[in-house]
Amino acid sequence: MKAYHLLTGLLVAALGAVARSSEALEHALAEALRVMEQHPLIDGHIDLPFIVRSLGPRPLEVIARHNETMPGHVDLERMRQGRLAGLFMVAWIPCPDPWASDDYLDPNNAVRDTLEAIDIIQQMVVSAPNDLTLARNSEEVKQAFESGKISTLIGVEGGHQLGNSLSSLRLYAQLGVRYVTLTHTCHNAFASSAGSGTPIEPAHPSNGLTDFGRELVVEMNRLGVLVDLSHTSYQTMTDAIAISHAPVLFSHSGAAAIYDHPRNVPDSVLALIGDGADQNPGLVMSVFHSPFIDSKNATVERVADHIEHIAVVCGKRHVGISSDFDGTNNAVQGLEDATKYPSLIAELILRGWTEDELADLMGGNLIRILDDADRASGSLAWMPASAATYGRRKDLPAHWGGADDEYLPADVKQYLNQRRQLHDEL
Ligand SMILES: [Zn+2]
C-alpha cells in the first residue's frame, strides 16, 4: 500500500513536471524573444572568418556565394532567426605547430593571415550593408541595435598573431580590433598558454606574463584594446589582472568549478573579478563549447550552470555570453547553432533572472567594459607609444646590407661606427 502511494506520488510529480516544463518553457521562450527585442545580445566569440578562409582559395568569393546561408553554425539568416544583435568576429590564425624553437622567432605568416582575416570581416560587412555594420565602441553598438543592424566587432585570438611586435598591435587597433587574446593554445613571447586541454610544458620563468607581455598589457590599455585572458595559463591570468588599468575580458571560457578543464576559469581567478575595490571590473563571457561545459552532459542547462556560477562568484555585472560558434565541432545539446540563443535566455528566465539582469548579461556588461576600456585609454593618453621590442629579435638594429654598409648615408655610417667602437670599449 505504502509502495503504491509512493509510486502514484512519483508518477503525479513526474507528470506535473512534464506539464509544467512544457508550458513554462513555452512562456519563457516567448518572454526571451520579447527581452531580446528590447536589449542587444552580443556574442563574444564567433569564428566565422576562419570558416570563410577554409571554404576555398579565394575567400572573398565565398562571402558573396554564401551571403545568406553558410556551412557551420552562423550565417545572416540564422543570426536573424536567433535574434543576435552583435558579435565579435574573430580574426584567428592557428598557432605555429609546433614552434621549432623556444624563442618564438620562427618566421611565419601569422601577421599577413591576421590582416587577411580582418579584411574578410570588413568585406563581410561591406557585402551585407542592410544586416551588418562594423562597431568599434559602445555608441556604435547601440546605434546598430536601434537601426536593426548586427554590430560586428573584431577580436584577434592570440599573441602569436602580433609577430612579436607592438607595432602590429597598434595597427590592428587602428583597424578596429577591440580585443586581443594574450595566447591561443601555444605559448608566445608575451605569455604562457593553458594549452589545448592536455597538460603542456610550462614556459617562461613563472609560466605567466613575460616582461614583454607586461609591456603588451599596458600598451593594450593605452590603446583601449581589451586584454582577453581566455586560453592563457592561470599565472598569465593573475599577472595580467594585477597590472591591467582596464577591465580584463575572458572572451570564451566557462567556470572550472562547474567543469574542471584548463580552459575554464578557476574560482581563485574569478575571485579577482568583480565590483570590489581590490577587484578588476572585468567580464567573463561564458562559452558553449561542449568539452569545456561537461564532456558527458553538455546541455543548455549545464551552460546556464556555468553562467550562474560566474554570476555568484563575480556578480551578475561580470558575466556574458560567448558561443565559440564555428570554432567548435562539439555543439551543446540545444545550442546547436546561431538560431538557439533564445533557448538559453529562456532557461535563465526559468531560473529567475530579471529583465535587467538579462540585459546586462546579453550585452550591457560588454558595453560597460568597452566604455571603461575607452576611459582607461583616455586617462593614459599622456603616455607615448611603447618603444619596447622583443629582446630576442636578431634583426634589430637593422642592417642595410651591401659590403660595409655601403648604401648608408655617410653620417649614418659614421654614427654607427662610433656606436660600435663605444660598444667595443665597454
Ligand atoms: Zn578559442
Give per-10-residue mean pLDDT for the chain (426 aa): 45 45 92 98 97 95 86 95 98 91 93 98 96 98 98 98 98 98 97 92 96 98 98 98 98 98 97 98 97 95 98 98 94 96 98 98 98 98 98 90 81 87 71
Report the separation in Å between the CA atom of 231 and the middle of ligand 1, taken as the mean of its atom positions.
7
Q: 175 and 243 in one domain?
A: yes
Same domain for 134 and 215, yes or no, is yes
**Annotation says 47 is catalytic:** yes
251 and 377 housed in the same domain? yes
Residue 23 catalytic? Answer: no
Q: Does 236 lie in the same domain as 299? A: yes
Q: How far apart are CA 283 and CA 368, in angstroms?
A: 10
Residue 274 has a pLDDT of: 98
* Torsions phi, psi for 211 (to 5 deg): -60, -40
User: Is 267 part of the annotated catalytic residue set?
Assistant: no
Residue 358 CA to residue 352 CA, distance in Å, equals 10
Whole-structure pTM value: 0.93
Cα(365) to centroid(ligand 1), Å: 21
E-strand ranges in 47-175 read 86-91, 132-134, 150-156
177 and 206 belong to one structural domain: yes
Report the CATH number at residue 61: 3.20.20.140
* Residues in contact with 130: Cβ distance below 8 Å, sequence separation at least 6, in sequence order: 149
pLDDT computed for residue 297 by the predictor: 95
128: nearest Cα among 42, 50, 69: 69
List, in sequence order, every residue forming a beta bridge with 232; answer none if it has no partner: 193
245 is catalytic: no
Distance CA 284, CA 321 (A): 8
Distances (CA, A) of 19 to 6, 16, 22, 106, 412: 20, 5, 6, 61, 84
Does the annotation count 309 as an active-site position? Answer: no
Q: Is 73 a catalytic residue?
A: no
Ligand 1 centre from 39 Cα, in Å? Answer: 26
Kindly report the average pLDDT of the chain as a whole number. 93
Its domain, for residue 351, covers 18-395
Number of domains in the chain: 2
- Residues 416, 269, single domain; the answer is no
Active-site hit among 39, 73, 160, 231? 231
Centroid of ligand 1 to alpha carbon of 25 (angstroms): 31
Annotated active-site residue 306? The verdict is no
Q: How far is CA 300 from CA 29, 57, 323, 348, in A?
A: 13, 36, 12, 10
pLDDT at 19: 47
